[in-house]
């Protein structure tokens, strides 16, 4: 599904990723943990093609196709989805209109038939109700005035509608109360299947109480310092990243 | 002689000749305006409020005589609304015109209004009777270069005025909104290669509500002066401005909200998008006169520049002479938000569509519920499906 080899990247001109290797197969859930500044978000943004992240060496391949040099929308059409750590507010564009533009663009790129307005609305309402989002929420501007929890649920809504091959969730748990965390986690669990894969980027292990990863990777100073199963997350919670950094790889 | 002086002399000369044999609405006395014009200079390039718009091409264009397209259509009004051409006005309508024409306009401040008086090609008076509800008026091209619209909304009446695109050289729209009345006034201006100067002057009486929208593309030179007075206690004013300029279009909008009575509210929301080598000029002024206590006034003006050679000049101005007031203003200038653009593209939306969406969303903030469908079509933002 995803193969990252010796990835080096700079963000705002500064070297952040210093040789990432990672393989994610269909049906797997991977968690990437690490302290602030270790490069977690830069990795997510490098995958999605954020303009201010510059890949300086290495490769990222999604279903065999290199992402290097592809526009963000081309990566999305290949099946990549990034749930943003800080979803952007766009007040004048209604959420529904935004979702329709996103789904239409996928259908067009993949040469699928366009959905009728009625079946699209039905699809969105169904997905929204699963995430406990009121219909009113779809009429408002994209993320405009949404609470932290609403923004994150809106990201999951987009993921459910776009059905990506690989979903990268960048600190989707941050700023959520326990109920919102459960709702988000159940959305991710409902999404995860043998046909897709999930990359969870998180600072804390509490999200992993609700979504069970197959692999946990610890990112330190732009490299994967340790890989294990979910018990690694618990060990980190108990000992902290500092202990791991001291013990080396 | 400057272009302004040459034009001025021409207007005086024409005016003196017309005084003896006016062709249009001969009963109207142009004498006082002509006399006043003798000692009022016309705006020169770079005179106050004309720093970024050169009036000379407008003078030159209009010094060479005027074009009439001959049409006398252009007005549709719902039943109960009285519409009369100045030329055909009977004595009752003449009384209404005499009593109200220029009542709201400080013509020394807007001296081109004197020119309009003297050179008038076509004028209409529109009356909405007191207490009327659901009155609707639509104006199209009125067929002159110098046009005048006088709208009198009676006390407690409710009316909508929609100005469809028209490109005279000079149109003045004067609105008198009676006590406790409500007027929705939308003006649509499409892209043209003409030179235009327009003035909207409205007076809002006690307890009345006036909502005005200026939606525009640009022209070679288009200047809109908008003067709105909260003249009675508790007058409520809402102004929406949205423009989308491209090519070498030029649009200059000068809004002056004048609170002369207390307890009034005014809200101005302006969004301008400027592309290519176009130029937008905006001045938003809030004047709160002594005694206009408990006024609550706000202005938000934002411009988005889409190209390196696009220009916008925006200035909010406050003049406050009362102490118990609330007044807020903000003006910003920016480009398309790169984070928002990346967010949309990460959802598979191609860059061109993403930019269109962001431009449309930006302009949408200024539309409110004043003819938003017409505004979207005019401003060339995607026809947007209302799905939810």
- The ipTM (two decimal places) reads 0.95
Domain A2-247, second-level architecture: 3-Layer(aba) Sandwich (3.40)
Q: Nearest Cβ partner of A76 from B339, B346, B363?
A: B346
Q: Nearest Cβ partner of B357 from A49, A81, A93?
A: A93
B238 Cβ partners below 8 Å, 6+ apart?
Answer: B209, B210, B211, B212, B266, B267, B368
B387: closest CA of chain A, how far (Å): 7
Please tell me the predicted confidence (pLDDT) of residue B116. 94
User: Which residues of chain B neighbour A81 with C-beta distances below 8 Å?
Assistant: 346
Please tell me the predicted confidence (pLDDT) of residue B62. 83
B84: closest CA of chain A, how far (Å): 41
Averaged pLDDT, A101-120: 90
Please tell me the predicted confidence (pLDDT) of residue B386. 46
Please tell me the predicted confidence (pLDDT) of residue B383. 46
Mean pLDDT (chain A) is: 91
Helix (H) or strand (E) holding B332: strand B326-334
Three-class SS state of A11: strand
Q: What count of CB pairs under 8 Å joins A to B? A: 98
User: Is residue A201 scored above 90 in pLDDT?
Assistant: yes
Question: Are B347 and A48 a contacting pair at CB < 8 A?
Answer: no
Q: What angle do CA B151, B152, B155 make, to 5 degrees?
A: 145
Three-class SS state of B343: helix
In the block, which residue shows the tokens 């201006």? B189
Paired sense of beta strands A141-142 and A90-94, if any: antiparallel
User: Which residues of chain B neighbour A158 with C-beta distances below 8 Å?
Assistant: 347
User: Which residues of chain A neighbour B360 with C-beta distances below 8 Å?
Assistant: 92-93
10-residue stretch averages of pLDDT, chain B, 388 residues long: 90 80 82 92 92 93 61 82 93 96 95 93 95 96 90 98 92 98 97 93 98 94 97 98 96 98 97 96 96 96 97 95 94 94 97 93 92 90 51
Residues A129-181: pLDDT tens digits? Answer: 988 888 888 989 999 989 888 899 999 999 999 999 999 999 988 888 888 88
Neighbours of B313 (CB within 10 A): 15
User: Is residue A249 scored above 70 in pLDDT?
Assistant: no
Q: What percent of chain A has pLDDT over 90?
A: 63
Question: Are B346 and A75 a contacting pair at CB < 8 A?
Answer: yes
CA A135 – CA A95 distance, rounded (Å): 10
If one compares A248 and B198, the residue with the highest pLDDT of the two is: B198
User: Which residues of chain B neighbour A75 with C-beta distances below 8 Å?
Assistant: 346
| HSE-up (13 A, CA, CB side) for residue B352 | 1
B264 Cβ partners below 8 Å, 6+ apart?
Answer: B204, B230, B233, B234, B235, B236, B237, B292, B295, B296, B297
């Amino acid at each position: 599904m995803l193969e990252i080899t010796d990835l080096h990247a700079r963000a705002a001109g500064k070297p952040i990723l210093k040789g990432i290797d990672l393989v994610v197969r269909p049906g797997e859930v991977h968690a990437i943990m690490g302290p602030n500044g270790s490069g977690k978000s830069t990795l997510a943004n490098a995958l999605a093609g954020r303009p201010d992240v510059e890949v300086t060496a290495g490769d990222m391949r999604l279903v065999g196709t290199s992402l290097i040099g592809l526009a963000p929308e081309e990566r999305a059409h290949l099946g990549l989805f990034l749930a943003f750590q800080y979803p952007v507010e766009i007040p004048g564009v209604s959420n529904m209109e935004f979702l329709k533009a996103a789904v239409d663009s996928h259908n067009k790129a993949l040469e699928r038939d366009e959905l009728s307005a009625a079946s699209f609305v039905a699809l969105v309402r169904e997905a929204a109700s699963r995430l406990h989002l009121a219909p009113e929420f779809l009429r408002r501007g994209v993320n405009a005035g949404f609470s932290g929890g609403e923004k994150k649920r809106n990201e999951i809504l987009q993921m459910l509608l776009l059905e990506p091959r690989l979903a990268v969730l960048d600190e989707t748990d941050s700023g959520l109360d326990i109920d919102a965390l459960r709702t988000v986690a159940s959305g991710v669990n409902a999404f995860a299947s043998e046909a897709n894969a999930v990359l969870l980027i998180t600072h804390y292990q509490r999200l992993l109480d609700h979504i069970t990863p197959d692999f946990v990777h610890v990112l330190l100073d732009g490299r994967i310092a340790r890989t294990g199963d979910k018990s690694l997350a618990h060990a980190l919670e108990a000992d902290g990243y500092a202990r791991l950094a001291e013990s080396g790889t | 002689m400057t272009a302004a002086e040459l034009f001025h002399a021409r207007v005086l000369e024409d005016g003196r000749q017309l005084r003896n044999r006016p062709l249009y609405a001969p009963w109207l006395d142009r004498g006082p305006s002509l006399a006043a014009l003798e000692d009022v200079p016309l705006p020169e390039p770079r005179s106050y409020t004309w720093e970024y718009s050169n009036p000379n091409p407008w003078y030159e264009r209009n010094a060479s005589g005027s074009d009439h397209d001959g049409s006398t259509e252009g007005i549709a009004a719902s039943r109960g609304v009285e519409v009369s051409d100045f030329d055909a006005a009977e004595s009752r309508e003449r009384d209404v015109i005499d009593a109200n024409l220029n009542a709201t306009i400080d013509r020394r401040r807007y001296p081109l209004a004197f020119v309009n008086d003297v050179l008038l090609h076509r004028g209409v008076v529109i009356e909405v009777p007191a207490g009327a509800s659901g009155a609707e008026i639509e104006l199209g091209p009125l067929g002159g270069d110098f046009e005048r619209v006088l709208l009198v909304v009676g006390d407690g009446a409710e009316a909508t005025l929609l100005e469809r695109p028209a490109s005279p050289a000079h149109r003045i729209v004067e609105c008198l909104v009676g006590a406790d009345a409500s007027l929705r006034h939308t003006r649509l201006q499409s892209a043209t290669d003409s030179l235009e100067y327009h003035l909207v002057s409205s007076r809002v009486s006690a307890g009345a509500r006036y909502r005005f929208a200026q939606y525009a593309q640009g022209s070679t030179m288009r200047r809109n002066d908008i003067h709105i007075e909260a003249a009675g206690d508790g007058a409520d004013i809402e102004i929406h401005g949205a423009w989308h300029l491209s090519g070498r279009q030029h649009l200059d909008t000068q809004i002056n909200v004048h609170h002369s009575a207390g307890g009034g509210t005014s809200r101005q929301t302006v969004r301008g998008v400027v592309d290519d080598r176009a130029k937008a000029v905006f001045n938003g002024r809030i004047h709160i006169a002594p005694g206009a206590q408990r006024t609550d006034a706000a202005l938000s003006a934002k411009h988005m520049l889409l190209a390196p050679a696009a220009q916008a000049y925006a200035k909010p101005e406050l003049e406050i002479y009362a102490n118990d007031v609330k007044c807020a203003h903000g003006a910003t200038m920016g480009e398309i938000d790169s984070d928002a653009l990346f967010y949309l593209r990460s959802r598979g939306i191609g860059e061109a569509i993403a930019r269109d969406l962001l431009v449309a969303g930006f302009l949408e903030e200024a539309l409110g519920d004043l003819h938003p469908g017409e505004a979207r079509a005019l401003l060339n933002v995607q026809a947007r499906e209302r799905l939810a």
